[in-house]
Homo-oligomer: A and B are copies of this chain.
């Protein structure tokens, strides 16, 4: 096992994972070809390229950073699934949101010096790394990109608002419907899969922690939903997801988000 592999499988890192200089060039970023991401000037893409200090790989189940740490980096997810979370002193955990490719993470940590939440990988994760210190430079040199950063922040907040509505006011059945609906919708938009076949690396414990439920009750509720044929779950993949009915179950009226910037 080489050094790099060690850093990839490290679940409890004393230091941060090594940055790999060999990296995809922003102009060729496969994400940028997706239509969920709005077009961007060549000049801006080139500027973003100058900010990119490399890439980091984190193994499935690995920790990117913990609550209270001061991560030196800001990342955009290139591929893989992850989640942001907070915990209580006795260990109870709340998953704040699921992070997918194209999502910008670490903004709060950047602004507050101390991350108010942790970030953990669900699958192997490939992250684009930006140096922490240069964020303000971005705003100065390219106001449009600064505006985009704000946009992405507002979008993330809107997603959390939705989750808060679920956790606070929806029943377990409704919450779960809403979560599956949103996740599959996002996955489809990102080309990760289809409603008929979508990779789903979350464990029932993750779902429970995201919805404020116990793992056991999550299990029973998923059973209900499957029996109702709202989706099927085999191994780590979701099949035959009935988006329209999930939407109705959850009381969701707007389908979701439009295009967004990619930084």
Contacts and interface: CB of A to CB of B under 8 A. Distances in A.
Contact of A160 (B149, B164, B210): B164
Q: Which 3 A-B pairs have the closest CB atoms?
A: A168-B212, A139-B143, A94-B168
A156 B161 CA distance: 11
A46 interface: no
Interface residues of A, number: 50
Interface stretch (A14-22, A111-119, A179-187, A222-230): A111-119
Interface of A: 84, 86, 88-90, 92-94, 96, 107-108, 111-112, 114, 116-117, 135-136, 139-140, 143-144, 146-147, 149-151, 153-158, 160-165, 167-170, 209-212, 251, 253-254
Nearest to A84: B161
Nearest to A208: B168
Contacts of A251: 88-90
Contacts of A170: 88, 92
Contacts of A143: 136, 139-140, 143, 146
Contacts of A90: 251
A142 B107 CA distance: 20
Contact of A168 (B108, B150, B167, B169): B167
Nearest to A212: B168
A143 B143 CA distance: 6
Contacts of A157: 108, 153, 156-157, 160
A178 B140 CA distance: 38
Contacts of A89: 251, 253
B96 A169 contact: no
Nearest to A151: B111
A124 B135 CA distance: 38
Contact of A146 (B93, B117, B147, B158): B147
A195 to B, nearest CB: 23
B154 A154 contact: no
A146 B140 CA distance: 9
B165 A164 contact: no
Given A89-B251, A150-B149, A164 B162 contact: no
Nearest to A135: B147
Max count, chain B CB within 10 A of own CB: residue among A140, A156, A164: A164
B107 A154 contact: yes
9 contacts: A94-B165, A107-B150, A108-B157, A108-B158, A140-B143, A146-B146, A150-B153, A164-B164, A167-B167
